[in-house]
Structure 1
Amino acid sequence: MLYFLSPFFLSPFTDITGGIHSHQMLGRCAQQEMALLDCLEAYGFGRGVKKCSYLIDDFRECQTHMKQFRRFYEMRRERDRQIAAKKLCGDKMYCSPVVDSY
């Protein structure tokens, strides 16, 4: 589950190269990663996995966008189902969103 947060073998080399694959250099997930690492540092890795699970979920969503993709996929599937059931036809089939809907 959290194999990417802590290295299997700790050494001075892993301490030096630990920051290479972080999101702190202008990454979009920098704030979530920092909050997660602060929480894990406060509780320790073993206990922090349980205590900081909500931060882990937020950080993983920021990295992968899986919830956003699933939502998009389900909306597309529902639209395709309505098209197949002839509830949507003509211009309503593929309408663009309203301008301020974002």
Structure 2
Amino acid sequence: MSISPFLRSPFTDITGGMVSQQMMGTCQKQEMRYMDCLEAYGLDRGKMKCGHLFEDYHECQTKTKQFKRFMAMRRERDRQIAEGKLKGDQKYVSPRVDSF
């Protein structure tokens, strides 16, 4: 993962925000915490010291844990349908509004 540009110029400073989450992105806070940590420790030590912040930022972007949770819930519902525990209208009952 390359964070700093190979050649730095005023053009790279102006356009640097285009590839970040700071321009109306959903992961602004996580990215800023990670970048602040990298700035404090430097690039080499920061990758090790700020790993937990990078994991939070990466999860915010990719939502892999959220998708795995969703798939686990779907498998459990399919298992219950196959066993006959859920029948009729109970098969596809939507979760409560605040449960997501």
Q: What range describes the TM-score normalised by the shorter chain of this pair?
A: 0.7 to 0.9
Q: Distance in 2 between matches of 1:82 and 1:29?
A: 36
Q: Distance in 2 between matches of 1:100 and 1:53?
A: 31
2:6 maps to which residue?
10
Q: Distance in 2 between matches of 1:43 and 1:99?
A: 42
The TM-score, its normalising length taken from structure 2, stands at 0.84
CA RMSD of aligned residues (A): 1.9
SS at structure 2 position matched to 1:96: coil
| Gaps in structure 2 of 5+ consecutive residues | none
Cα pair distance change 1:27/1:73, threshold 3 Å: same
Per-residue displacement from partner, 1:61-87 (whole Å, max 9, x unpaired)?
A: 111111111100110011001111112
Aligned length: 98
Identity %: 54
Specify which structure has the higher proportion of helix.
2
The TM-score, its normalising length taken from structure 1, stands at 0.83
2:78 maps to which residue?
80
Counterpart code for 2:6: L
Counterpart code for 1:22: S
Contact residue 17 and residue 23 of structure 2 kept, 8 A: no
Q: Distance in 1 between matches of 2:97 and 2:81?
A: 24
